[in-house]
Amino acid sequence: EEFVRRDSAVDKGDIESLRKFSWQEYMKKRKQKKVLELKDDIEDEPYLFGDEKLTEREIREFRYKREIYELIKKSTQEEDNVGEYRMPDAYDQQGSVDQEKRFAVSVQRYRDMGSAEKMNPFAEQEAWEDHQIENAALKFGAKNKEVSDNYEFVFEDQIDFIKASVLAGDNYEDEMHAKPSQDSAGKSAFHMLQEDRKALPIYTYRDQLLNAVKDHQVLIIVGETGSGKTTQIPQYLHEAGYTKLGKVGCTQPRRVAAMSVAARVAQEMGGKLGHEVGYSIRFEDCTSEKTILKYMTDGMLLRELLGEPDLGSYSVIIVDEAHERTLHTDILFGLVKDIARARPDLKLLISSATMDAEKFSDFFDQAPIFRFPGRRYPVDICFTTAPEADYMDAAITTVLTIHVKEPLGDVLVFLPGQEEIEAVEENLKHKIRGLGTKIRELIICPIYANLPSELQAKIFEPTPEGARKVVLATNIAETSLTIDGIKYVVDPGFSKMKSYNPRTGMESLLVTPISKASATQRTGRAGRTSPGKCYRLYTAFNYYNDLEDNTVPEIQRTNLASVVLSLKSLGIHNLLNFDFMDPPPSEALIKSLELLFALGALNQLGELTKAGRRMAEFPLDPMLSKMIVVSDKYKCSDEIISIAAMLSIGPSIFYRPKDKQVHADNAMKNFHVGNVGDHIAFLKIYNSWKETNYSTQWCYENYIQVRSMKRARDIRDQLEGLLERVEIDVSSNANELDSIRKSIVAGFFPHTAKLQKNGSYRTVKHPQTVHIHPASGLSQVLPRWVVYHQLVLTSKEYMRQVTELKPEWLIEIAPHYYQLKD
């Protein structure tokens, strides 16, 4: 019953010996061996291409070998560079940064920032901060005579802030650009929207911009967040006639932004969303034949390219929020650059909120940069004087402090993710209830990706007179969405980021300290309509010494399997030659090729297999797609697509109100009867809901979010449609739970772990200690072997959504990956 990963160090000995084992040394040796093997083959090149006639297959095999050879050689060189990956100079002045070290440092920083006593002993820091305090112009939150007694108890735990600097506003003539009078008498809503449009900073530059677009095929556009780039440019292009030649497409890194902006633009154009103006996001297409302005996620444009490689139906493509440098945006850069060369009639606009656009210009063959000034009022920047033990508590205290002490004006709080937002929302509501009528009305608006669109619109509603709005947002409000009226920003200094450990090939969602560039963007959000204040819930010392200058582009810290599969299906075989703005580490490319090979999506030539082509049809992670494709064999595609849909929704399916946690947990237990595992429990939930004819009442009774379920149902419908497209019958095998489990294992066999004596788990591939997430139905059961969906790093490395596994399945399903230990 001992299983080890094949072709790894582990099969050579006891797991313990791994402790002493240097992965770097091992990988180096393994690579050297592979390089030598490949070199032998490749050195024959002139001979092979000489007299001897090669079959097509041999030529392709040769080319693939050469690609791998070069990748490996490159990654060996990267390692020789003091064992570090080289980063582009613009992103790291010191020249190189070790990804793995970065990962470890992030983890450590995350833990440190949450632990005041660990940070304090540093005399250096204290001295530095004393100095800052002396210079402080403003003391915030300290006991203040003017505060009425009523408020005293709000500050049971006060936070001291010092004002350290000011984010300067832009120089502009206030009167000239001032908003037209808000006098609504006799004006229609439509008319007022038109006036709003004219008040945006970009309006002054409308004609210049259109001229620049006329004169140049590719244009980089740079302007401050909120200046009107996303909402106005597509409309200007439409007004100038570009939509007569084809659609105008505008990509957004985030789903919520695509939806919300499209809704706004539809309103401004006086039409219905989905008609002239539409949006397209994964699993949701809100466009029609009539659509001429199409907002979409960058990932969706990538998908569209699979069906329409020249983007023939578009006259203009705008890659918006380019500064975000998401994985999909980066891949799009390379692809649209190529298309623009082949299609001189296609206009390409790259739009960004950061000022260092030279990099984009360089990449797009020195494309001209169109910059226009924004309009921002100065913002005071305050830091805490000491590290905060709990950033969520600190955020709540700060919001309440602002609410009772500062003049009216809305507050924007940045939190890492949905769970944190929900926790803060609940806590804040609880505290407000406790204060009753002693304070003014505080309206709480959460905003995150999974929030249903009706509620998303709430953040844009004007705040009633005398009240204050507090928006609890993820990174989405950093540059993608502009909310007018924000005067105060609360920045705890974290965001949730995918983090990829190139050694183990494992990806985690990790609450990570933001970069200085992000901190500046967040601060700027407070100065949109009047001078503002930004409260950073970390010390100035933290800021200057611990935060990196810029966020590392996602392509350099993520698992690439999914985009490699897309690129392969686009016919891009040699990834080495792909035009990356910042190439991913070769190691990560190799890892993704290895994974796709293990999943059977690529053959030894690196070509798409039939299964790979089918997998590429699904807009999902390759492991999920594999699970679906393979379910055909186990005759349980019906069940598997339900599970896949539920997995795509994730933890937001459940809710546990603080006062009813026991009830909620009991409701959940019903679905876990027999310790079936989280995947099967998802299936049971979905099927029970279906049996009640998708009843809302049933969801309430079972503490399940009805909106999440509706979304799961939509996703499931689409997956069903895609099954038909890849010619897989919908077949049901509900009583054979092991068939369902085997399908799961066939997709997720690289994610397996074995129980250890101390109750923790050790992953089989690249041994690492992990734990079952407390929310899992198996967290008390602790099966010997498990397959998991996802790793999430919070206080520990947790496996989320786990199912028990029979170890012999590994040999049955993935004999190329696992073998019995002798």
Q: Which residues bind ligand ADP (CB under 6 A)?
A: 200, 223, 225-232, 260-261, 263-264, 460, 482, 484
CB of 667 to Mg ion, least distance (A): 41
Q: Is 325 left (phi over 0), alpha (psi -120 to 50) or beta?
A: left
Q: Which does 37 bind (CB under 5 to 8 A by kind): ligand ADP, Mg ion, none?
A: none
**Nearer to ligand ADP among residue 4 and residue 261 (C-beta):** 261
Rounded to 5 degrees, φ, ψ at 210 are: -65, -35
Here the tokens at position 445 are: 């608006």
Which ranges of 21-122 would DSSP assign to H, the alpha helix?
Answer: 23-43, 45-49, 56-80, 99-113, 116-119
CB of 226 to Mg ion, least distance (A): 8
* Contacts with Mg ion, residue ranges (CB under 5 A): 229-230
CB of 534 to ligand ADP, least distance (A): 18
Query: Which residues face 411 on adjacent strands?
Result: 470, 488
Q: Which does 231 bind (CB under 5 to 8 A by kind): ligand ADP, Mg ion, none?
A: ligand ADP
Q: Which does 718 bind (CB under 5 to 8 A by kind): ligand ADP, Mg ion, none?
A: none
Which ranges of 81-202 would DSSP assign to H, the alpha helix?
Answer: 99-113, 116-119, 123-135, 149-152, 174-177, 189-199
- Answer whether 538's CB lies under 8 Å from 388's CB: yes
**Nearer to Mg ion among residue 204 and residue 675 (C-beta):** 204
The Cβ-side half-sphere exposure at 622, using a 13 Å CA radius, reads: 30
DSSP per-residue codes, 619-648: SS-HHHHHHHHHTTTTT-HHHHHHHHHHHH
**Nearer to Mg ion among residue 219 and residue 740 (C-beta):** 219
**Nearer to Mg ion among residue 322 and residue 709 (C-beta):** 322
Which residue in 413, 391, 416 sits closest to 494, CA to CA? 416
Query: Which residues face 775 on adjacent strands?
Result: none
CB of 513 to Mg ion, least distance (A): 25
CB of 197 to ligand ADP, least distance (A): 8
Q: Which does 228 bind (CB under 5 to 8 A by kind): Mg ion, ligand ADP, none?
A: ligand ADP
**Nearer to ligand ADP among residue 414 and residue 748 (C-beta):** 414
**Nearer to ligand ADP among residue 109 and residue 458 (C-beta):** 458
CB of 93 to ligand ADP, least distance (A): 28
DSSP code for 732: -
CB of 318 to Mg ion, least distance (A): 10
**Nearer to ligand ADP among residue 265 and residue 567 (C-beta):** 265
**Nearer to Mg ion among residue 233 and residue 680 (C-beta):** 233
CB of 227 to ligand ADP, least distance (A): 4
Angle at CA 380, nearest 5°, toward 375 and 382?
A: 145
Q: Which does 532 bind (CB under 5 to 8 A by kind): Mg ion, ligand ADP, none?
A: none
Question: How far does CA 569 lie from the centroid of its chain?
Answer: 23
DSSP code for 140: E
Task: Give the span between the Cα atoms of 762 and 785, in whole angstroms.
Answer: 10
Q: Which does 592 bind (CB under 5 to 8 A by kind): ligand ADP, Mg ion, none?
A: none
Q: Which does 460 bind (CB under 5 to 8 A by kind): ligand ADP, Mg ion, none?
A: ligand ADP
Residue with tokens 């009528």: 437
CB of 252 to Mg ion, least distance (A): 8
Which residue, judged by CB position, is nearest to Mg ion in the bound state?
230
- Answer whether 533's CB lies under 8 Å from 526's CB: yes
Task: Give the span between the Cα atoms of 261 and 295, in whole angstroms.
Answer: 8
Rounded to 5 degrees, φ, ψ at 606 are: 80, 15
Residue with tokens 């890492």: 416
Here the tokens at position 710 are: 């509706």
**Nearer to ligand ADP among residue 265 and residue 744 (C-beta):** 265
**Nearer to ligand ADP among residue 99 and residue 260 (C-beta):** 260
CB of 223 to Mg ion, least distance (A): 9
**Nearer to ligand ADP among residue 237 and residue 676 (C-beta):** 237
Task: Give the span between the Cα atoms of 601 and 752, in whole angstroms.
Answer: 20
Here the tokens at position 654 are: 């459940």
CB of 518 to Mg ion, least distance (A): 16
Q: Which does 484 bind (CB under 5 to 8 A by kind): ligand ADP, Mg ion, none?
A: ligand ADP
Q: Which does 707 bind (CB under 5 to 8 A by kind): ligand ADP, Mg ion, none?
A: none
Query: Which residues face 499 on adjacent strands?
Result: 508
